[in-house]
Chains A and B, each alone.
Chain A
Amino acid sequence: DSGVTQTPKHLITATGQRVTLRCSPRSGDLSVYWYQQSLDQGLQFLIQYYNGEERAKGNILERFSAQQFPDLHSELNLSSLELGDSALYFCASSAGPGTEAFFGQGTRLTVV
């Protein structure tokens, strides 16, 4: 158990809908990262927050947004969903830049 909790584990939704994925980082970790893994692809970095502030952005679509709350949990919002958004979404947390990140079990999103 990495200590990073992601909910829900599975999500099935229709095209055009909006969903929210939730992540609780390990106790004490200030950094939260979001990654997308599509069909045996690598892990694509989406966005990173540190202590509530956005610190780095990757290939995140404009339809996607995220935030980190004062209690350090984070949410990834995906809107106007398309079939191609079906993927595993992972959250990871770390103590800060330059330290190892620990991953949650992921949320499997299926858009039908």
Chain B
Amino acid sequence: DQQVKQNSPSLSVQEGRISILNCDYTNSMFDYFLWYKKYPAEGPTFLISISSIKDKNEDGRFTVFLNKSAKHLSLHIVPSQPGDSAVYFCAVTGGKTSYDKVIFGPGTSLSVIP
């Protein structure tokens, strides 16, 4: 039973345009949400996070939006650059039974076309 879903396995975007990556989770007890970026043969790199007390967090070209009622978060990359091409993982943590786990979604492979 997947607790974290990323329903788009892949996404292609033109350079300069916006990339929107989506993530859905099942347990409303999760209270901290993260996005990681992964290049082939490297470990995931932390990108941006948001806690459940906020609905938006911005860091440069990256913005994460959280909709707690819909149990949905999204990552916006504006403008997209070819170097952003990677696999993006959504991750969640928190809640009584899973507080110490960081649970990852299956990932979305983003290709930014020059």
Contact = CB atoms under 8 A, between A and B. Distances in A.
Contacts of B41: 106
A29 B80 CA distance: 33
Interface in A22-41: 31, 33, 35, 41
Contacts of B25: none
Nearest to A103: B43
Given A43-B89, A98-B93, A33 B102 contact: yes
Contacts of B36: 103
Interface residues of A, number: 26
Nearest to B36: A103
A10 to B, nearest CB: 10
B46 A101 contact: yes
A94 B100 CA distance: 11
Contacts, number: 62
Q: How large is the interface on B (under 10, 10 to 19, 20 to 34, 35 or more residues)?
A: 20 to 34
Interface string B33-59: 010100001111110010000000000
Provide the main secondary structure of the chain B interface.
loop
Nearest to A31: B100
A97 B89 contact: no
Contact of A4 (B31, B43, B100): B43
Interface string B72-111: 0000000000000000010001100011111111110000
A100 B100 contact: no
B102 A55 contact: no
B104 A105 contact: no
23 contacts: A2-B43, A2-B45, A31-B100, A42-B105, A42-B107, A43-B89, A45-B103, A45-B104, A48-B100, A50-B100, A55-B100, A97-B94, A97-B99, A98-B93, A98-B94, A101-B34, A101-B46, A103-B43, A103-B44, A103-B45, A103-B46, A104-B43, A106-B43
Q: Which 10 A-B pairs have the closest CB atoms?
A: A103-B43, A42-B106, A56-B100, A43-B104, A55-B100, A56-B101, A100-B46, A103-B44, A105-B43, A98-B32
